[in-house]
Amino acid sequence: MNIASPQTVYLKDYKPVPYLIDEVSLDFDLAPEATRVSSRLSLRPNEAAGPGGAPLVLAGEKLELKAISIDGKPVDKSRYSVNPSSLTIAEVPQKPFTLEIVTLCNPKANTELSGLYVSNNIFCTQCEAEGFRRITYFYDRPDVMARYKVRIEGPAATCPVLLSNGNPGETRKIPGTDRHFALWNDPHPKPSYLFALVAGDLAHVADSFVTRSGRKVDLRIYVERGKEDRCAWAMESLKTSMRWDEERFGLEYDLDIFMIVAVSDFNMGAMENKGLNIFNDKYILALPETATDVDYVNIEAIIAHEYFHNWTGNRITCRDWFQLCLKEGLTVFRDQEFTSDIRSRAVKRIADVKRLRADQFPEDSGPLAHPVRPASYIEINNFYTATVYEKGAELCRMLLTLIGRDAFRKAMDLYFERHDGEAATVEDFVRCMADASGRDLSQFFSWYEQAGTPEVVVSEKYNEAAKIYELTLEQVTSPTPGQPDKAALQIPLGIGLVGQDGEDLPLDLDGTGTLNEPLIELTEAKKSFRFRNVPRKPVLSLNRGFSAPVRIKSDASMADQLFLMKTDNDTFNRWESAQTAAHALIRADLERFPPKLPDFGDKEALQNISDRASSPARIDSIRAGEARAGVKRAADRKSFITALSAVLNDCEVDLAFKALMLGLPGEQEIATLIGRNVDPGAIHEARERLRATIGSGLKDVLLDLWKMTDAKGAYRPDPEETGRRSLRDAVLYAIAGGDAALGAQLAIEQLARSASMTDEIGALSTLVTLDRPERDAALDAFYACHRNDHLIVDKWFALQASAPLGGTNQRVRELMQHPDFKLTTPNRVRSLVGTLAMANPFAFHAQDGEGYAILADTILALDKLNPQVAARMATAFRSWAMLEEKRQGLAKAQLERILATPGLSRDLFEIASKSLGANG
């Protein structure tokens, strides 16, 4: 494409379409290289769009127009025009009329996997966000909602299954041919991005669900033949989701049938098409010997997410794509609540915050930062981001925290009552929250419009004589692209004042009295809270439950953090204290190597460090200070190990929580907190040293846990057994950090007697961190055993790309030439190059820049085939400006190389130019 002047779309420019579409009839004549699509649209002027007479402009890409008529009469070529992105009819009737269009498209050539494409001989669609325009000319935008009737015709031998949205109608053979057809009718209005079609030779697993009103719903999961035995967990997860949505939100399913189709080539995780969800097969297929615990939990959560979209996304959709968080953020919140209710709420909350900090916090602090509801975009596919999804979910959670669970449910009921069948806005949603609760949420709305992660700075005073504890909080949000000035936000903060016995003290807030809920609200740039009748200086536990997506900056001592780590009644903050302590230990380690001090007689060297010292006496003083700091570091590490040991030995603590307590902060998270002049290699080494300290200092405790978590009985994906296996994997990783030989030995033993894929991947995940001969032999054996299962081969590629070792980049280059690596398969690209760029900071940020070169090479090759995936992978460059000078120059050179390449897609151009422009 020509990117000399890419068009930016602005929220402020929204206008309704001049014509509404009430009914859509589609007739598909399927052929891999020339599918014929006949559309019949019932249109009428839209009075809300203003005076009539506007031309009809319909979006369309990569289509061959064959015929066009209005009210049964062909339209003369002089009355319309076609360009690569649209069809324009200069004059149309200013009354209800029928438009018929016939087009051809080439599904087999569609490597972008947007619109109608062929995957493993299966016809499949992906229409969100703007793929429907590759099927037929249409108002391809979410505020145009219509009822669809679909006829699909195809060869009976290769396409025995013909599926679309809604309820099934007639299916029969066409006399005198080898073809047949199927009819589908969706009675609910929907936007074009929710249209779906699947056709091919598929098997299915069937079940049913009875709604609370007594309606029977047929359930079907379609998969490639021979994989039916891997659908049981997905089906069980679907029924659990349907039951939960009825119980928690009072929402029933509204069609006669609910279908899921699993395909191997898919740009996303899954798609919530009305009544016909299409899934990346990695989120459907599972057996204990092929899928890990993480896979099982992901399947359960993603099936829930897509099903929940039936109401939050389908029945109520977005007015425009700027409102994307209205369906995605809200539905992520709903699926988080679902998992919390059926598994461990505490463990789920920690997992969600880890993901937010790993993905969204870096996004919010870099050149790609944008509000939860962005104000502009060049390519909407680039805004399916952690900010829209994960931070959007956090805003919903804050609303629940502010107005309470009962009022939140009342507000959701009001939202469905007011807006069912509509394309709504964020304002509509927040207005329902305000109306149902009686609270003024006008300040809260700034969370949707303002980018950046607020930092809450804490200062404390305690007046022992008056028994008054004063807490002063100041909120600061750094400038982000296009937003140099930031407004004060409404920040709900869960709070506890912890006494010396580890119990919470009463919260007697001056001017308010005893708080009914342990919650304070920071609504100003700076605010003080005075608590009365506090017998002794408490230890502050703030932002409990991670009540707001903020960073807390505090001068709390290591002793206070370790005290909370052992005693805090809030499970999240107990984990948070361990993370904060680990951060402090790693940062102290990074600062322990000052410039090398010279001999006293080396006058030239002494002169060169005159900024630090001007005499041997001063050097002695510096050395003494560094010795004292070394003693403190050693003492802090010892105290940390003691506190961690207490948690691991506490039989009342959940096993999954123990596993989380053993986990150290991620290297990307540490880098984001440092913020500038970052040396990823030094961070990795410092983190590894703390891992070694844990492994050696807790060796006996860890070995006891290793024995205790040995497998007992058949595999079960329930929370208890999942927690046991997660602790076992964490223990193995820690042991190997302290004793590589022992860790390798235990990993090999686990591989030899593994009872599940979780056991295999757990052992291999530790082995790949060790530069030992057992590693390569184990990986070769794993591939030999599973080479015919594409999902497990994805894991094999990812394991090797995740190795934090010096030879990883060379190995990735070699694997890109492997017969099983295909650039046209998104899962395979993500498993290898995506893992390197987004999950292995040590290798990706190698000092020679090879990691950056691998990513840039892949992106440029992929952009010609699948711009969506290329652009998403390019976001790995987003933090280049915070690196130390040499790595910064190498990464910048690759971004400049990408931008200098002719013919970039709009998707990649936006990501690369913003990444470079905001920093360059």
Closest CA to 504 of 540, 454, 457: 540
Write the CB contacts of 336 (distance below 8 Å, at least 6 apart in sequence).
348, 352, 393, 397
The span from the CA of 342 to the CA of 414, in Å, is: 26
Strands (E), 367-480: 376-377, 423-424, 455-463, 468-476
Going edge to edge, which strands form the sheet with 56-59? 56-59, 86-89, 80-83
Burial annotation 123-154 (CB, 10 A radius, 16+ → b, else e): bbbbbbbbbbbbbbbbbbbbbbbbbbbbbbbb
> ∠ at Cα 692 (688, 693), nearest 5°?
120
DSSP 917: H
Number of H helices, E strands in the chain: 31, 33
Q: Are 730 and 663 in contact (CB under 8 A)?
A: yes
Please, is 44 exposed, middle or buried when counting C-beta atoms within 10 Å of its C-beta (0-12, 13-18, 19+)?
middle
C-alpha radius of gyration, the chain, whole number: 29
Closest CA to 614 of 623, 605, 624: 605
Dihedral angle computed from the Cα positions of residues 477, 481, 486 and 492, in that order, rounded to the nearest 10 degrees: -50
User: Following DSSP, what letter does each residue of 492-516 receive, concatenated?
Assistant: EEEEEEE-TTSPBPP-EETTTEE-S
The span from the CA of 838 to the CA of 856, in Å, is: 13
Q: Out of 272, 306, 328, 394, pick the active-site residue.
A: 306
Q: Are 647 and 658 in contact (CB under 8 A)?
A: yes
Burial annotation 768-790 (CB, 10 A radius, 16+ → b, else e): bbbebebbeebbeebbeebeebb
Q: Which 3 state secondary structure label does DSSP give 301?
A: helix
Q: Are 899 and 858 in contact (CB under 8 A)?
A: no
Bridge-partner residues for 149, per DSSP? 25, 185
For 211, other C-beta atoms within 10 Å of its C-beta total 15
DSSP 84: T
Bridge-partner residues for 376, per DSSP? 10
Angle between helices 293-308 and 232-249 (to 10 degrees): 50
- Amino acid (one-letter) located at 541: S
- Strands 455-463 and 468-476, by their bridges, are antiparallel
Q: Are 156 and 178 in contact (CB under 8 A)?
A: yes
Say whether 306 is catalytic: yes
Q: Are 535 and 466 in contact (CB under 8 A)?
A: no
User: Following DSSP, what letter does each residue of 206-261 receive, concatenated?
Assistant: EEEEE-TTS-EEEEEEEEETT-GGG-HHHHHHHHHHHHHHHHHH-----SSEEEEE
| Category of 271 on φ-ψ map: left (φ > 0), alpha (ψ -120 to 50) or beta | beta
User: Following DSSP, what letter does each residue of 730-772 receive, concatenated?
Assistant: HHHHHHHHH-HHHHHHHHHHHHHT--SHHHHHHHHHHHTTS-S
Q: Are 842 and 864 in contact (CB under 8 A)?
A: no
Bridge-partner residues for 44, per DSSP? 20
The span from the CA of 909 to the CA of 905, in Å, is: 6
Active site residues: 306
